[in-house]
Amino acid sequence: MNGPATARIYLDYNASTPLAPTVAARMREVMEEAYGNPSSLHWAGAPARGHVERARAQVAELLGCEPPEIVFTSGGSESNNFALKGVFFARARQLETPHIVTTRVEHPAIVEPCAFLTRLGAQVTALPVDGTGRIDPDDLRRALTPNTILVSVMHANNEVGTIMPIEECAAIAREHGVTFHTDAAQSVGKIPTRVDDLGVDLLSIAGHKIHAPKGVGALYIRSGTKIEPFVHGAGHERGRRAGTESAMLVTALGEACRLAGDRTRISRIRTLRDRFWMALQQRFGDRVALNGHPEARLPNTLNVSFVGKEGAEVLAGLDGVAASTGSACHEGRVELSPVLAAMQVPEHVGMGAVRFSLGRGTTAEEIDTIVSRLTHVQGVN
């Protein structure tokens, strides 16, 4: 007879989040009642349009902007592509070699569009980071040229949780008249993301990172920012992104943003994360290392390296625990992620990296259980 199944523990909230119950309830409500086209002027379209605009106002409330500055998208990747390509195509004819500044630790949804734009004639500068994953704003200042059209710096890193000095960087860009974008997919709902406080012109949101479903996101576009529409067609989203809006999905995003405005859960999650890190230090001492900034870091993110181990090996021993590694196996060889490599984490340390990202469902009992299982994995009595 088989023994009892190992309890499943989810610590991969930076990858995706479960639907919040009220988000699911709102989706069902809209799916059943608002079947009309939001652009239609008759009685069936009006309810759908009402849901779309209510959601737009909820997203705007979280970001501290005006509702018309919110454009709904299919998610964080589209929002990032919209920001980079939209600014490029709006400015490309004015300059022989448009210049974009970004960093070496960006998400692929920034890295790949930048690579695409280089094939169209753009020049891209990727700023280095220090050992904690942060850029030096002075490096940004030195990188700007008369041809710089856009700076894109992520608000918080998805792997190690390090928070970038966005306010200072955005101020530098503004001094030079350069549009500033931040990928805030990981930071929304975890740390403040008021656009005027940050000083940004463009900001990306991914719904499934804040307990909304996959397939919906938003791009904040500051009024007056020159940007080419991402999808051409009819005049949806004030002519900036063609395609009939999904009232159900954008309602879900709006409700998720409303919930994200409640900051009471964050302190509890931070306490659990710190408890987790302290327990690991007590158990393993110098055989465990923190990756990322010790203070300027997302309150839910703990990226640690089990020195001398491989991340996949550690996770394999954590039966039932969902988390992510900081390395990948290619043709039998473990390679560091580009983020850890950019941070110059030694290979014997970085190959043992595991990212644990906590969320609203995480409990102290789960943390204690994982520490116990990790003790077994590491062979510590």
Cβ atoms of residues 339 and 159 within 8 Å: yes
Region of 63 (left: φ > 0; alpha: ψ -120 to 50; beta: rest) is alpha
Extract the runs of DSSP E, i.e. beta strands, from the chain: 9-10, 70-73, 99-103, 123-127, 148-152, 179-183, 202-206, 217-221, 288-291, 301-306, 321-322, 324-325, 327-330, 333-336, 353-357
Q: Can you give 197-237 as a three-state secondary structure string?
A: HHCCCEEEEEHHHCCCCCCCEEEEECCCCCCCCCECCCCHH
380 class by beta-carbon count within 10 Å (0-12 exposed, 13-18 middle, 19+ buried): exposed
Beta bridge partners of 121: none
- Rounded-to-integer distance, Cα 69 and Cα 59, Å: 10
Cβ atoms of residues 55 and 205 within 8 Å: no
Name the active-site residue from 65, 169, 257, 329.
329
User: Could you confirm whether 329 is annotated as catalytic?
Assistant: yes
Cβ atoms of residues 174 and 111 within 8 Å: no
Enumerate the active-site residues.
329
